[in-house]
Chains A and B, each alone.
Chain A
Amino acid sequence: MQIVNVIEIDKLTKNYGKSRGIIDVSFSVGKGEIFGFIGPNGAGKSTTIRTLLGYIKPDSGRAGIFGLDIAKDTVTIKKRTGYLPSEAVFTENMKVSDMLFYTAKFYGANLKERIRLLASKLDLDLGKRVDDLSLGNRKKVAIIQALMHSPELLILDEPTSGLDPLVQKEFFDILLEQRSSGTTILFSSHVLSEVQRYCDRVAIIREGRIVGINTVEELTSNTFKRVSLIGENGEPREYVHHGDVNKLAQELAKMKLRDFKVEEPSLEEIFLKYYEKEA
């Protein structure tokens, strides 16, 4: 039997009172896909991810990973999943190598070689103590914890925050390598360039609701155009058009213009367009 979707989320809702939380979040991630999950701080990215991993219990809705129920089969799911929390918090001050070897024990395999390989790729000193590490280096420890057992699914919450550009590059190289061996990846971000560059599809979340799910191609090519106009009176105007390009052509044809320019907008602009509140 073929499992098409690795992650299947159906109307997941978690109410924290006030504005936090998520409402009716639904999306699915296919096998081998790199799926981006974008939105500003506090939009519900982490809440969704933490619900998927059983840290938080949903109020309503369902979700499955590998066709297993997230509420019942957490242990099996976690065995096959690597999770990188947005903040790498360690409650114990151990030597980095001890910490990682301790983590490896839960997967019941000898992962020492793999840990050393990942550490050298990410340029992490295994001999230091966790408390003596900088934020970025602590993140590397967490990355190795997520990757060490070569999981079928990687769930990464803001993976690049705190990493310098060189390490980011190395990190994404590792991810692409994983993907080519069949790993599915879900990662949240508010850095659009990395989403644009590495993801196949993205879901955009705003104030706890999914407002759009598109392929990156769709977002960047077909439906969005940045339009710059100089009207008859010389007054410049710029906006992002969303929708049928023929409509845009018709609109433009009706206007009297000195000049105009239609360009591909950056994902950043598309993102902002999504976030524009209806006036």
Chain B
Amino acid sequence: MTVFKREFVKNLKALIIWTVSVTALLALMLVQYKSMGSGLDSSSYTEAFKNAMGMNKLDMSTFLGYYAVKASVVVTLFGGIYAAILGSGLVVKDESLLARPISRGRIAAERLLSAMASILIFDLAVLATVVTIERDQVIYWIAAGQFLLHMVFVCVGFLAASARIRSKAPMMIPIGVVLATYVLTLIYGLSDKMEFVKYLSPFYYTDVKDIIVANGISAENVLIAGGMALLLAAAGYVVYTRRDMPA
């Protein structure tokens, strides 16, 4: 587990910064809601906007409604970006490590596991923050969905960095993917004709509003989001273990 430990230590500072920032921001929003209400008067929005934001599904005056529509975006989106950056950093041109008696497959596996550990800590910290403020069973399900979502983006980063190992800024494409797939989930709400695009986005399968409405996350969605992560990880693994390593 030498590589796992090293990778985890290497990424520890970033983990602390992201975790503290996101949970602080989230706590601020939730505490503010608790004391002053959402301030969201749904009657002032157009139907299209409400559909896009999913406000038609939930009562915005409840804590869960507010968390789903507004506050959780901080976690899904910022967490997604953090995950993408973390994933892109898993593959670097390490000449020195490749000279050691360890296979590339082992390096990739230990690093992916280390990223998984970081993401798990991040999402557990988020979960702890939310349940401290409001106790509800469904919050655990939401956290599970967010963890799955973030793992998908770790794997996007991992695959992109494996394929473009010479890249000086490997996180650019993965961050773009996070933002683009997020925008896709907004678009599908705007028009019926755009319905199909939602299936491309991991945000759709782990949607906080849907989890609240269903009071849980469906096995089907877990399988699809998990499958996305696995498929991306496998593709990254194949590329990383087979490619030529440039000097």
Contact = CB atoms under 8 A, between A and B. Distances in A.
Interface in B52-110: 92-96, 98-103
B10 interface: yes
A187 interface: no
A75 B101 contact: yes
Nearest to B106: A75
A85 B247 contact: yes
B100 A103 contact: yes
Q: B interface, by DSSP: helix, strand, loop or mixed?
A: loop
Contacts of A82: 99
Contact of B244 (A46, A55, A75, A90): A55
A85 B101 contact: no
Q: Which of A75, A82, A86 has the most CB of B within 10 A?
A: A75
A46 B242 CA distance: 19
Contact of A57 (B92, B93, B95, B244): B244
Given A50-B247, A56-B245, A57-B244, A90 B103 contact: no
A105 B10 CA distance: 17
Contacts of A103: 96, 100
B2 interface: yes
Interface string B31-58: 0000000000000000000000000000
Contacts, number: 58
B93 A78 contact: no
B166 interface: no
B10 A106 contact: no
Contact of A106 (B2, B94, B242, B247): B2
A83 B100 CA distance: 9
A79 B103 CA distance: 11
Contact of A85 (B6, B10, B95): B95
Contacts of B103: 74-75
Nearest to A83: B99
A37 B100 CA distance: 23
A145 interface: yes
A89 B2 contact: no
A103 to B, nearest CB: 7
A87 interface: yes
A106 B101 contact: yes
Interface in B1-18: 2, 6, 10
A50 B94 CA distance: 13
Contacts of B92: 91
Contact of B96 (A74, A86, A89): A89
A92 B89 CA distance: 12
Nearest to A99: B96
A85 B99 contact: yes
B6 A78 contact: no
Interface of A: 46, 50, 53-57, 74-76, 78-79, 82-83, 85-92, 102-103, 105-107, 142, 145-146
